[in-house]
Copies of this chain bind each other. A is one copy, B any other.
Amino acid sequence: MVNRPPAEIGMPLAEVDTPALIIDLDAFEGNLRALPAKIADKPVKLRPHSKTHKSPIIALKQVALGAVGVCCQKVSEAEALVAGGVRDILVANEVVGSTKLNKLAALARHASIAVCVDDAGNIADLEEAAVLFDTRIKVLIEIDVGAGRCGVAPGEPALVLAQTLSRSKHLQFDGLQAYQGSAQHIRSYDDRRQAIERAVAHASRTKALIESHGIACARITGAGTGSFEFEAASSVYTELQCGSYVFMDADYNRNLDAGGQAQPQFDQSLFIWTTVMSRPTPDRAVVDAGLKALSIDSGLPVITDYPEVSYARASDEHGKLEIRNPSQAGFDVGDKIRLTPGHCDPTVNLYDWYVGVRGQRVECLWPVAARGALT
C-alpha cells in the first residue's frame, strides 16, 4: 500500500517517472525564508499550516526558521507530525467523538497540543478525554469571522464558552481561532483587505468582551497566504496560519496586489511532472496526470512553461491539452512537462512522495507522511 518513489536521488529530472510531485527546492527555500522576513517587524508569530504539506520534514524546517509550531486540521495529521519530531501543534479545527478525542489527549502527553471548540457539549467531551489521560490541552474558541463555516458567532456566544473553559482543570483557555478562509481567494486587494478588517473587528470585540469578564484571551490566531499582511498589521492577531506560501498554486497566483497586478508574493515551487502519452491530432495532446494526480476544485492546472497551451479537461487518469499553434514543440509522445496545480493542498494529498529537485537533479525524496490522514 506504500507506492515506490518515482525517482532516485541524483537522477536527472528528465528521468523521473510520471506523474510525480516535484518541489523546486530553490523556490521552496526562498518561500520558507520570505514569509518570516515579510512579518519580521510585526508583532505576530508564525504558526504555518501543515495541512498544505503534510510533512514533518517541512514543518521542522519552518520551525527552524522561527515558526512557533505548526497547525494541522486532523488528529491523525497531528500524530504524524509528532512522530516526525514536531513538538507544538494547534489542531486548527473542531475534534469530535471519543475515538479522536482520546487520541488527541494521548498525544498531549508527548507534545504541546491545542485544539479549537465551538460547542459546549464538545468541551465536556474534550475535558473527559483530558481527564482520562491526565493531561492538559490548550483550547481556542473558534469564532465565525465571515467564512460561514464552523465557529460560534463573535461576542456573547464565545464569552459563554470561555467562561466554561475557565472553570476546567484540564483544559486551558488560550484565545480565539479567527480564520477568515473565504477571504483568501478574493481577487481584489481592497475587497480582501476589507474582509479581513471585518474579521479583525469581530476578533477584537470578542477578545475585549472576554477580557472584560476577567478571563485572559492571549492568542488570536488565523490568516492565510492570501490575507496575512492584513492580519499581521492588525495589532489584534498574534499568530499567522499561512500554509500555501511554501508551494503556491494557480489559484493563489491569480490574486491581485494593491496595484491590480497578479504578482504573487511567493514563487511557484510545486509542480506536477507529467508525460505526453498520446498525440492523436495536431491540436490535442494527452498527458498522464488526471483527476487522481491533481485536484481541479479550484480550477484546472496551468501548463507551466507553455502558457499558450491549455489543460482543457481532466478525466480520471488523463489530462487533455489544447494546442493552438500547429508547430508547437515540446509535446511529442514521451515529452515531459510541468503543470502548476490549481490547488496545492488536495493535490499534495494524492501523492506518497515529494521529489525535491535542485536545478535539474533530484536531491531528496520526502514522504508525504500525513497523506490520507483523514481522521
Contacts and interface: CB of A to CB of B under 8 A. Distances in A.
A70 B351 CA distance: 25
* Integer count of this chain's copies in the complex: 2
Nearest to A278: B150
Contacts of A6: 374-375
Nearest to A143: B280
A300 B127 CA distance: 35
Interface stretch (A26-34, A213-221, A231-239, A287-295): A287-295
Nearest to A99: B17
Q: Is the interface of A mostly helix, strand, loop or mixed?
A: loop
A307 interface: no
Contacts of A151: 278, 280
A324 B35 CA distance: 43
Interface residues of A, number: 72
A372 to B, nearest CB: 5
29 contacts: A1-B367, A1-B368, A1-B371, A2-B2, A3-B372, A3-B373, A15-B99, A18-B97, A19-B374, A93-B277, A96-B276, A97-B275, A118-B278, A118-B280, A119-B279, A122-B334, A148-B284, A149-B278, A149-B280, A149-B315, A150-B278, A150-B318, A152-B280, A291-B297, A291-B343, A292-B345, A292-B374, A297-B314, A316-B346
